[in-house]
Structure 1
Amino acid sequence: MNERRGPGGQPLLFLTDEQLRRGIEAMFFAYRGFTADPDRILQKHGYGRAHHRALHFIRRSPDTTVNNLLSILGVTKQSLNRVLRTLIEDGLVEAKVGTRDKRERNLALTDKGVELERELADVQRERMRLAYRDAGPDAVQGFRTVLEAMMDPDMRRHFNRLMGPEE
């Protein structure tokens, strides 16, 4: 069999536009499912997905700076400040003066913030757990490989920094 290979000697995978369209649509619908449970929890508190993302990444990187969070989330400073102001006023996030640079603010979740972030993460972990169980062990690594391949280089750097050793 004469198989075409791409860079690095990997076999080339040819997909039709229809197969790609189906994958794109599956991502849209999967994302709706992935965010549905957290959205219900957030709505009870008067928060949205931006609040969820901020809580998630502050939890993953305690004492992160506002600038680092801006870089990860890819939002405007004004937008992030609105979200942070609410989370700080509601006692979920604390902002401390930076230890290295007094102009920086370091962010950390309070106990109340950890509790909400854990509730949000638990429902998403359970959805992922069930999906992975249904798809099988080979699909887990394949899915992660596809997601990482779709990341822009800057986002992949953030992702790799957050990952650390696997458990």
Structure 2
Amino acid sequence: MADGRMMAPHSGESLLFLTDEHLRQGIEAMFFAYRGFTADPDRILADMAYGRAHHRAIHFINRAPGTTVNNLLNILGVTKQSLNRVLRTLIADGLVQSRVGRNDKRERHLYLTDEGRALEQELSDAQRARMRLAFRTAGPEAVAGFRTVLEAMMDPEMRESFDRLRDSCP
């Protein structure tokens, strides 16, 4: 820590006290990691005039085919107006299909088309490659710790949504 950067704990060693500097470095690492994590999909989507909101919608519709618009609103935490703008584009471009609910005609259920699934696969392949390399580099203990940290950072409502999604999808 002589040069001000946080050193990785050695095996069996743990940080019992985190200074504001440790936390600042963690925050900055998350910002830069997020930029890296989204860079490849951003490049793919830029050619289509889509952004991250489109990517997130495609991702979660793929994870839970038939999800309702209201469920997607809860997962994404965006306004109805914002989501409707994204969905209108994805539907018009033939990537998402909206079907009226069988039991409740007011509900709209969302599905990816074949073209939508192909785009989702391309976007996810890019992110999986980056995650796979990072996980292999960090090792199994770091991967488990990373998941623990991410889950601990979630608000209780987000954690419930995360758990439901994880439990409902293969």
Q: TM-score, normalised by structure 1?
A: 0.90
Does 1:14 find its partner at 2:20? no
- Which portions of structure 1, spanning 4 or more consecutive aligned residues, are displaced by more than 4 angstroms? none
Q: Give aligned pairs, total.
A: 157
Letter in 1 for 2:139: G
Identity of aligned residues (%): 75
- Inter-CA distance 21–117: structure 2 relative to 1 (3 Å threshold): same
Partner secondary structure for residue 149 of structure 1: helix
- Unaligned runs of 5+ residues in structure 2 are 1-13
Q: How far does the alpha carbon of each residue in 1:73-130 deviate from its partner, in whole angstroms, 9 at most, with x for none? A: 0100000000000000000000000122110000000000000001000000000000
- Residues of 2 paired with 1:129 and 1:165: CA distance? 23
SS at structure 2 position matched to 1:107: strand
Paired residue type of 2:79: T
Which residue of the partner structure matches residue 128 of structure 2? 125
Matched, 1:76 2:68: no
TM-score scaled by length of structure 2: 0.89
2:120 is the counterpart of 1:92: no
Counterpart for residue 3 of structure 1: none
Cα displacement (A) at 1:166: 9.6
SS in 2 for 1:164: helix
Looking at structure 1, the residues matched to 111 and 83 of structure 2 have their Cα atoms a distance apart, in angstroms, of 15
In the alignment, is the contact (CA less than 8 A) between 2:63 and 2:169 conserved in 1? no
Partner of 2:30: 27
Coordinate RMSD, CA, aligned:
1.7
